[in-house]
Amino acid sequence: MTPKRFRPKNYRRTLTYLAAGILIAAVTLYLALPILALIIRMSPDMFFDTLHNPEVISALWLSLFTTVTSLAVVILVGTPFAYYHSRYSYPGKVIVDTLIDLPLVLPPAVAGVALLVLYGRVGLLGRYFNMLGISLAFTTLAVIMAQIFVASPFYLRQAKSLFEQLDPAYEQTARTLGASSLRTMTLVTLPMTAGGLVSGAVMTFGRALGEFGATIMFAGNLPGVTQTMPLAVYVGMESNVTVGLTISILLVIISFTIMIAVRLIQKREVYHA
Amino acid sequence: MLEAVMVKRLRDYTLDFTISVKSGEIMSLMGLNGSGKSTALNIIAGLLEADTTTITLHGECLCRTEDDLDVPVEDRRIGYVLQNSAVFPHMTVRDNVAFGLRARRLGRPVVAERAALWMDHMHIGDLADVRAGNLSGGQKQRVALARALAIEPGLLMLDEPFTALDADSTQTVKDLTRRFVKKMQIPCIVVTHRVADSTEIGDRACVLCKGKKEWEGIPGEMPEICSVCRCA
């Protein structure tokens, strides 16, 4: 008699499980191994020693300052924009929709070139700023502008979709109860979309932190002024590998924390239509 | 007393509707889906603009297009329980009931006292600190009713309040609605699909069909030809 595990039905099931196991292991290893290699390449002592390196500290603080500033601008301007955009129809809305998504598919270097051509010293608008003594390109402000351009779609898309999905009946009820538009926004609309908005903001923060192409094109690579962490990794790998690896590990830690935060936030209830 | 005349061009037809509801009277507004019931309620509440309209509540004009008079939605003092999204799910029951009172900038002790009173009236006092999103359908409707009545409205409007409620909850919501509409002597409009609900809760009924009034009268006398749902 044929052993049980070799009977056709069980045999097929075993094969399916085996194939699935191999596939999951392969994908997991492909994603995890480079990160693992990066972490085991450095001893913890060396990592913590290099953290005191002025280049690392300077890049870390500049990155945090510019990223937090970019995020604040995106949230303050992007939230009301996404609300009005999702609730009202206006001519050219489709074009605006496309423009919101464009930075997601545009190579960051191209975004940097575009910003330079517009705001650079001889750029379309930059020349007028320059006449007023205002220089935008190759400054810390340019880093923030590049980050906003590249990372804002993550927040805008999320906020737009959340406002579209929220049943207007909640806001209408609040209005009939005597709440002003502002009160309705702060007590009903924003709390009911908060989980998704925070998740979009965290993704924007992550994207802005890792921004490289647009920054190097538009803001350059000046230590202490425009050299953010990704740029410092690039320079470090050419001159001081330890610095490059330390900043890389720091970025991995921050990115991992961001993804865990997003997962936790996404578990919160979102009230849809 | 509520008196409203409205005309609004919609996609498939023109809503041309006149409704009059006395104080302490419940008018059940009936009609098939898309007949213009919710649109009419939204116009009365001030959430939607009509092409031409005149709305008078207790002698005070809320809206008259020919004179460009339009009291903002937040100042109309209409208790309106919209379809489906009855309560704010992220707030506690207490905060839901107190929402309209706080929006009207009443003092904290007054808000607390009135909210407690209405939670008591609706038998939801023991749920005061529960998040409204975690309540059952019947409890949510009672919270919505308490919240709408706590602002001491001049008019109460309920848009399909019995949808998705079991028999017991439906009866409770009907009893509470009747009790407080009579007690507060305010006009009330209840949108419902079912003749049975209309007969039970409505003093009068009005049937809308493609934006036009098809019939108006005592619910029990509604003729068979009316385009309404007659399921039990």
A158 with A174, same domain?
yes
Residues in chain A with CB shorter than 8 Å from the CB of B75 are 178
Within the 149-188 window of chain B, which residues sit less than 8 Å (CB to CB) from chain A? Answer: 151
A185 in a structural domain: yes
Instruction: Please report the pLDDT score of residue A273 as a whole number.
Output: 39
- The rounded Cα A40 to chain-centroid distance in angstroms is 26
For residue B227, being part of any structural domain is answered with no
CATH number of the domain where residue B21 is located: 3.40.50.300
SS3 category, A226: coil
Decide if B134 touches A, using CB distance below 8 A.
no
CB A208 within 8 A of CB A71: yes
In this complex, is the C-beta atom of B82 within 8 Å of any C-beta atom belonging to chain A? yes
In a domain, A118, yes or no: yes
Look at chain B and report how many structural domains it folds into.
1
Using CB atoms and an 8 Å cut-off, which of residues 104-123 of chain B contact chain A? 104
- Residue B177 belongs to what H/E stretch? helix B167-184
**CA–CA distance from A87 to each of A163, A166, B77, B98 (Å)?**
8, 10, 25, 27
pLDDT per residue as tens digits for the range B64-116? 998 889 999 999 999 999 987 679 999 999 999 999 999 999 999 999 999 99
Domain residue limits at B58: 2-221
- Nearest 5°: the CA angle A99, A103, A106 is 115
Q: What is the pLDDT of residues B72-86, one digit of tens each?
A: 999 999 999 998 767
Please tell me what DSSP assigns to residue B65. G
Specify whether the backbone of A70 is left (phi greater than 0), alpha (psi in -120 to 50) or beta. Answer: alpha
Cβ A111 vs Cβ A213: under 8 Å: yes
Write out the DSSP string of B204-221.
Answer: EEEEEETTEEEEEE-GGG
% of residues, chain B, pLDDT over 90: 67
Kindly report each contact of residues A110-115 with a partner whose C-beta sits within 8 Å and lies 24 or more positions away, as own/partner.
A110/A213, A111/A146, A111/A149, A111/A150, A111/A213, A111/A214, A111/A217, A112/A146, A112/A213, A112/A214, A112/A215, A112/A216, A112/A217, A112/A218, A113/A217, A113/A218, A115/A142, A115/A145, A115/A146, A115/A149, A115/A214, A115/A217, A115/A218
In chain A, the largest separation of any two C-alpha atoms, in whole Å, equals 93
In-domain check, residue A273 = no
In one-letter notation, the amino acid at residue A155 is: Y
Spans of chain A below 50 pLDDT: 272-273
Among partner residues A173, A176, A187, which is closest to B85 by beta-carbon distance?
Answer: A173
Q: Is B148 on the interface with A (CB under 8 A)?
A: yes
Lowest-pLDDT choice from A33-42, A63-72, B159-168, B182-191: B159-168
> Residue A197 sits in which domain range?
43-266
Residues 6+ apart with CB under 8 A from A22: none
Which of B43, B44, B47, B76 to substitute to test the interface with A, most A CBs within 10 Å?
Answer: B47
Query: Residues A9, A50: one domain?
Result: no
Residue A272 has a pLDDT of 47
| Tens of pLDDT, residues B38-52 | 999 999 999 999 999
Q: Which of A169, A177, A271 sits opposite B100 (nearest CB)?
A: A177
Q: Is B229 a member of any domain?
A: no
SS3 category, B226: coil
Which of B82, B90, B133 is facing A173, going by the closest CB pair? Answer: B82
CATH of the domain at A115: 1.10.3720.10
Average pLDDT over residues B165-186: 89
Q: Do A269 and B89 touch (CB under 8 A)?
A: yes
DSSP per-residue string spanning B70-124: E--GGGS-EEEE-SS--S-TTSBHHHHHHHHHHHTT--HHHHHHHHHHHHHHTT-
Would you state the pLDDT for residue B195?
84
Bridging pattern class, strands B2-9 and B155-159: unpaired
* Distance of alpha carbon A84 from alpha carbon A163, whole angstroms: 9
Answer yes or no: is B166 within a domain.
Answer: yes
Number of domains composing chain A: 2
| Residues in chain A closer than 8 A to B84 (CB atoms) | 167, 169
Same domain, A177 and A130: yes
